[in-house]
Structure 1
Amino acid sequence: MIFIYLILFPCIVRCEHIATHAVKEKPNLKNETAGPDVVDVKYFYETFCPKCIKFERQFENAINLLSTRLFIQTYPYGKSKITLKNGKVFIKCQHGRKECYGNKLHACVLKYFSNHTEAVLFNICMMHINGSNDATAKKCSQKFNVNVNPILKCAKGIEGVHLLKYYGEESRKANFERIPFVLVNGAHVRWNGSDFSRVLCGEFKQPPPNCSKISLRGIDNHNGTLGNGTKLMHYKNV
């Protein structure tokens, strides 16, 4: 169990809304990873939060290094708000309409990619290229060699709205106050800018070979200190 110390300031609130009629949609939650010594990672974020964008560079490195031993679930919703009125769904996003659409793009990628790890990396790609929108989706689709049209159609239509509604319901269950919000093996992790791969490697009973590339010297994941006594992490169940 991990709780990495950091004060994370919430993203600035600027809300808009979208609406449509109600249908039921759920994402593709299939994950390729299985086995007895797998670290579970749940990541709650929104597409235009600066701290989320910064964290995702570390997240991408961790995925590339350890993906075969990680069970990853991501939730592109953040601090958005959903209300239901007269059979319609209203969504308000912290960074306005552009973020509502970006969150829907991410949700649709998770639904339409057959490989979940690649879906997560595709979404990280969009966040790295100046925002999550149609242009970045098309650019990342060239990198990943996928047909982006079903994703764009999903994000522009009723399906994307209700995928976002699903992620909103899951995000409320996590009951977080700030983003990025990360759970590792069920414990809340507050990222402090340190190497996220290093944190994950400390969770394996038998670390995979790639962890040998990362210095774990001095980490004690059970008392929250480095070998020199500097406070790095402590734990809290949620």
Structure 2
Amino acid sequence: MSPYLKLLFYLSGISFAVSFEIDHSNPDVVEHYSNSQIVKTEKVDLRVYYDCWCGGCVYFHIKQLDPTYKKMESYIDLKTYPYGLTSRYKNHGKVSFACPHGPNECYGNKLHACAIDILKNVSQSEFYNSCMMNATWGGKGSTDKDAINCGKLMKIDSKPIIECANSERGDALLEYYGIETDKVTNPRNKYMPFILMNGKEYSTDKDLMKTICQTLANPPPQCK
């Protein structure tokens, strides 16, 4: 089966239900842990900080996060932050960015940030951004070509997302995600993806589905 058909088959089972808006008043990470023990909760707070071209980030989104979120969406409060190890600078009031893999990665992060902002739907933006990261159409992914083709697959209008990424709005959104990332980690001293589950640093070496099920006070049938 071709990569295109595999991606189409994968995306066909996705439901889009949860709304999401960037909230600049969000408090810092909420601590749900006591004496290093997991406190059982009804919903898992999952925050994923990443770069769109980071190999580990791509793997985590496609192989762990997407299949788990597809099954457990109702039990996960997911927030994603496309910024990662990016650095930012201001010159005469204008912000500029430097990404580990160059300016095209910065642009890809803007596409992700704009998708989150414009779609205002956690499921839709997560699977759309993962689709772009999958690099089905060649290259490293998260380009205009990926945005357009993923839009066609998912019946999403990619034009506003691309326009946003090429505008001051795209710069403002990436700056916002940089500020949010800096609240929890110094990017220069961390790896990506950097993940917090209920305020506790989560290792991608673990099984995400299993860990979430262990964290829930009343695990749903999906956990069995």
TM over 0.5: yes
2:47 counterpart letter in structure 1: K
Query: Which amino acid is 1:91 matched to?
Result: F
CA distance in 2, matches of 1:165, 1:122: 21
Deviations 1:121-161 (A, max 9, x none): 11111111241011111111112101111000000111101
Residue equivalent to 2:90: 84
* Equivalent position of 1:188 in the other structure: 201
Q: Match of 2:218? A: 206
- Whole-Å Cα distance in 2 between the matches of residues 151 and 99 of structure 1? 16
Q: Which of the numbers 44, 50, 58 marks the counterpart of 1:53?
A: 58
Amino acid at match of 2:43: V
What CA distance in whole angstroms lies between the structure 1 residues aligned with 2:160 and 2:121? 16
Q: Say which structure is richer in helix.
A: 2
> What's the CA shift for 1:47?
0.5
Which residue in the other structure is 1:162 paired with? Answer: 172
Task: Determine the structure 1 residue equivalent to 2:22.
Answer: 29
- Residue matched to 1:121: 127
The offset of 1:183, in angstroms, is: 0.4
Contact 1:46/1:78, CA 8 A, preserved across alignment: yes
Displacement of 1:195: 2.7
| Equivalent of residue 151 in structure 1, options 149, 161, 174 | 161
Q: Is the 8 A contact 1:65 1:197 kept in 2?
A: no
CA distance in 2, matches of 1:197, 1:53: 17
* Structure 1: gaps of 5 or more residues: 1-26, 31-35, 213-238
Structure 2 unmatched runs, 5+: 1-19, 24-40
- 1:96-107 alignment to 2 at 5 Å? 96-107=102-113
Pair 1:43-2:48 in alignment: yes
Query: Matched residue of 1:131: which SS?
Result: coil
- Rounded to whole Å, the distance in 2 between the matches of 1:87 and 1:70 is 38
Deviations 1:136-195 (A, max 9, x none): 111111121011110000001111011000000000001151111100011000111x43
Deviation string 1:22-49 (CA, Å, 9 cap, x unpaired) is xxxxx9238xxxxx71110000000111
The 5-angstrom pairing of residues 218-233 of structure 1 reads none
Question: For 1:197 and 1:144, how far apart are their aligned partners in 2?
Answer: 25
2:79 to 61, 73, 79: 73
Q: Quote the Cα distance in structure 1 between the aligned partners of 2:120 and 2:98.
A: 29
Deviations along 1:84-108, one digit per CA (max 9) or x if unpaired, are: 1211112111110110000000000
8 Å contact kept, 1:48–1:95: yes
Secondary structure of 1:202's counterpart equals helix
Match of residue 93 from structure 1: 99
What is the match of residue 12 of structure 2?
Answer: none
Q: What count of residue pairs does the alignment treat as equivalent?
A: 180
